[in-house]
Amino acid sequence: MHIYYGNDGLILTSRTKENFNSGLSRVDCIFRCRTANADTLEPTLQAGLPVPGDLAFVVRESAKRTDETDGFTTFTVSGFYATLVTSPNAVTPIPSVLGAQIASCDLQISNLYLPENGGAYTLGVVYKLSVLCDTVTRKFTMLPNDSVTQLNFPEETLKAKLLSATSYVSGAQLSVSELESIFSAETQSDWYNDGHPSLLKPYTAISQYIPGTLEASIAGQVEIINVNRSSFGSYDEVTVTWGLNLSKIFLIINYQQGHPIY
């Protein structure tokens, strides 16, 4: 029970606070006043104004008003405040959630032929690589006019795992082991052009040898791949996901041999 001794202003009857990992803080307040004064006091609880008694918090939506039968009016209002930390540190850690996405890039396998009777020609095929890539997601707060393009990239190392390759022409697939064999081969290459060995099976082949594995060579640039943004009045709560951009990568494996095709 609240007893009012001639107070003509807003009387705070309830206040709860909650802090979120994103740096956002919320306060929920219930105020009461004499109904005769409600019209005068209501504008002080409009959206964009500080919450009475908690001036750091800004009202998100204008207060809900209920005129009671006892001669008093109840106002319910919520306000928000944010610390505006966009990168984790020892004082304000921001949780980073690791996830995954399926991305793709192209791989061209080509073979340059130099027949003994002169001339030169190339046979090859282009495959679409399916790649499983790490993602990292963070939730934090920003000012409404701040752009996510100005954010620092996360320090986590995002890795990629090669899944398969599919020919654009025939739909034929190569396994990861077959791809790695082609990538690392130096002699006696035995790969096929869409399953037609008579078209592309050199007697001797020399690849442009690259140390490591094909999977290790897939290193896309880290970029923002998804943004969800919610307004809380003077602050925005933003969820950003970073991942590897493989769309601009085009891998090429070149072979060269000086013998006619058998």
pLDDT digits (tens, 9 = 90+) for 210-262: 446 777 777 778 889 999 999 998 899 999 999 988 877 777 766 554 332 22
- Residue 222 in contact with residue 160, Cβ under 8 Å? no
Cα–Cα dist 56/26, whole Å: 11
Q: Which of 23, 20, 77, 19 is nearest to 52 (CA)?
A: 77
Mean of pLDDT values over 101-125? 70
| Cα three-residue angle 119-125-128, rounded to 5 degrees | 155
Q: Which of 70, 76, 84 is nearest to 30 (CA)?
A: 76
Rounded to 10 degrees, what is the CA torsion of 195, 198, 200, 204?
130
In the DSSP assignment, the letter for residue 204 is: S
Percentage, residues of the chain above pLDDT 70: 74
Distances (CA, A) of 253 to 177, 180, 216: 15, 11, 14
Band (pLDDT 50/70/90 cuts) for residue 135 is very high
* pLDDT of 170 higher than 90: no
Please state the pTM of the whole predicted model: 0.71
Cα–Cα dist 16/22, whole Å: 18
Mean of pLDDT values over 117-131? 72
pLDDT of residue 260: 27
> How many other CB atoms are there within 10 angstroms of residue 78's CB atom?
18
Higher pLDDT, 31 or 185: 31
Higher pLDDT, 179 or 23: 23
How is the chain split into domains, by residue range?
11-82, 96-257
Higher pLDDT, 207 or 91: 91
- Tokens encoding 151: 């954010």
